[in-house]
Amino acid sequence: MKTIHTDLAPAAVGPYSQAKATEQFVFTSGQIPLDPVTGALVGDDIAAQSEQALTNLKAVLEEAGSDCSKVLKTTCFLTDMGNFAAFNEVYAKYFPDRPARSCFAVVALPKGALVEVEAVAEL
């Protein structure tokens, strides 16, 4: 098993890694919309935050040797299901192949984020 880290995505905000990879798969931790350099939350609406969270996720996948086209499943967390349609608009740009997905409403996310996305992908 290999630990994945890239400076193109924010450092973990707790005792976990950005991702773990086996010979065949990469399992990412959830990515929230933090700027990788400053660690600050990016955007104040769901579209901007989704774009940053998915940019971060893409960077972790690429560091592992994968990419968005190889994602098998995502798990998405939204603090407001009223943002579902706007989130989907951004999400669809990153995942045109439509991987399997679960999407949950949660009470809160770290750093006050509106969205978090994690993925399992092939290498």
Catalytic residues: 103
CB distance 78 to 50 below 8 Å: no
Alpha-carbon radius of gyration of the chain? 13
Among candidates 61, 62, 3, 11, which has minimal Cα distance to 36?
11
Identify any residues that bridge with 3 across adjacent strands, giving them in sequence order: 20
DSSP designation for 97 = T
DSSP designation for 7 = T
Kindly tell me the burial class for residue 57, based on how many C-beta atoms sit within 10 Å of its own C-beta (0-12, 13-18, 19 or more): buried
